[in-house]
Amino acid sequence: MPEFPERSAVGTGGAHGSGAAIAHTLVKSGAGVVVADLLDAAGPAAEFRGSTSSRHRDVTDEHDGRQVLADAEAHGTWR
């Protein structure tokens, strides 16, 4: 798997299940991850303190989506 140092990613639906597994993989690859979910997203963020942040957000809402992207910028470069 490629390494992603100083990169950030957004994990939508990342509180549980496959979304959380993807967030874990990205963090292990060096990315900073913002976990956004309608559910409590504290699980992945608690495990990888400093590498992730969790947000209770609805990414289908324009305001929430913009906030998630702003949070991602705090973790590093994203595309």
Please name the residue that has the structure tokens 């949070």. 71
Q: Dump pLDDT digits (tens) for 18-32.
A: 888 888 888 888 888
Helix (H, G, I), strand (E, B) or coil at 60: coil
Structure pTM?
Answer: 0.75
pLDDT band of residue 5 (cuts 50, 70, 90) is confident
List, in sequence order, every beta strand (DSSP E) within the chain.
8-12, 32-37, 52-56
Q: pLDDT per residue over 34-69, tens digit each?
A: 888 888 655 555 566 667 777 788 989 999 999 989
Q: Which two tokens stand for residue 56?
A: 């209770």
